Amino acid sequence: MSKAHSICEDVKDERRKMRKEEWQLLNRLYNYDMDYLSRTFLYLKELVEDIMMLADHIKSFSEYIQFLATKYLIFD
């Protein structure tokens, strides 16, 4: 019984170490040194860029639809 208890304690210690390492990696990954306001502005900037890219795709798609409609109306 005591051997099983010591094995469980060893496993718990290893899991604690792994969680600490995971948090260190997450802190490095998400750059928690940067304050929330700066990160919010970066996210907003990326969001606006993505919306602009989506608008470009919609514009090119609508031009293509217009081209197809014109082509088939003229030659039909």
pLDDT tens per residue across span 3-44: 777 888 888 888 888 888 888 887 777 765 667 777 788 889
**Which long-range CB contacts under 8 A does 1-5 form with residues at least 24 apart?**
none
Structure pTM? 0.46
More confident residue, 30 or 68: 68
Tell me the mean pLDDT in the region 31-60.
85
Q: Angle at CA 34, nearest 5°, toward 31 and 38?
A: 125
